[in-house]
Chains A and B, each alone.
Chain A
Amino acid sequence: MDKTPTLLGLMAEGHEHGYDLKHRYDQLFGAERPIAFGQIYSTIARMIRDGYIEAMGEEPGGGPDRKRYAVTAAGRDYVRRWLSSPDEPSPTLQSNLFAKTVLALLLDDDADALLDVQRHAHLARMRDLTQAKQRGSMLERLAIDHALFQIEADLRWIDVAGARLAELREEVRHG
C-alpha cells in the first residue's frame, strides 16, 4: 500500500494530528498490521518537505501530540491524481486498490470510476498476457495462466467491491 497518499487522504478527511491519523489508519487498514508512530511522523515530515501539508501550530491540551497539519492544494491534487490513476496489476495490488477505494468514498471522490478504470487496466494486462501466451511454449503458457488467474482474482474483487460501494460508503463514514 502506498502510505504517503493514503495518509494524506486521511488528513484530507479531517484527521489533522499524528495521533488521530494513526488511529484512523489502523481502524481502516491496520487490522493485521497497525502502522508505527515512527512511520506516521517520518511520512508527515516528507509531506511537509514536498509541500503536501503544512504545520498549523499546536493546540493547547494534554494529549500525546497536539500539532495540527493541513493539506495544501498541492496535497489534494496529489491525492486526486493517485485516486484516478490505475495501478499496475500485480499480486500486491489489492491492498493499494482497497485503500484507494476506501479513500475515494471518504473524500467523496468517484469510487465507481476508480474501479471502472482499474477494471480496464486489468483487462488490458490480461490481453497482453493472452497474446504472449498464444506464442509461448507449454511451460510459458502455464506460467502465464498462473498470472492470468491472479489478475482475474483481483478483477473479481473489483466486481464485488463495485456492487457493494453504497454499503461500504455507509460503513467507513459512519460505522
Chain B
Amino acid sequence: MEPNWNRLDEHVKFYLPVVVAVALVSILITGLITAPVRRVKGYSPVQPVSFSHQLHAGQMRIDCRHCHLGVEVSRHATVPTTAICMNCHKAAATDKPGVIRLREAAARGETLLWKRVHKLPDFVYFAHLVHVQAGIRCDNCHGDVRRMDVMTQVSTLSMGACLGCHRQAHERVPGSQANLTGPENCSACHR
C-alpha cells in the first residue's frame, strides 16, 4: 500500500514532539520524585538538644542497646526516655546547656521533642527485633553513627533498598551468614 505522506508529515511534525516531550517530562518528574534527596538521604535536622552520637557511642563507646531499649525485643528501637538520660546526667556534665534543659524537662515529668530523622511510611511494618536477631548490625542501615556529631540519614530507606538486602543480604551485610535472605512477599512488611 502507498504510504500516506500527509499523515506521516503530521506524525513527525506534531505527534512525535508531543510524545517526546511527554516522555521527557515523565522521566524528569519520576527522577525528581525518586531522587535520593527526595528520600531525604542526608537529612540531618537541628535537634532541640545538641546530642552527639559521636561523643556517646563513639568516644565513650556506649552500646546502642543501652539507650535504644526496644531494638532487640520490639518493632521499635525506641527513643530513650528522659529517665534513661538522667541515669547518667544526674551527675555527668550537669553544667552543659543541653543537659540543663534535659534536667528541667525531667523535673517537669516531660520529654524532649526530638526531630524525627528516620521514618518509614505508615503502611510499612518494619520490625527492628527480627533484623537485629538475624545479625544485621545497626550501621548497616543507619551508617556509622559513632562518627556522627549530628544524626544523619545515610540510606534512602526506600523499598528498593529493603528488597536489595532481602534478596542478597549476605552480599550487603559483611560478615553475615552465607545463605541469609529476607522474605520478599508483600505482607512481610505491608498489612
A and B bind? no
Q: Which residue numbers of B lie inside 8 Å of A, CB to CB?
A: none
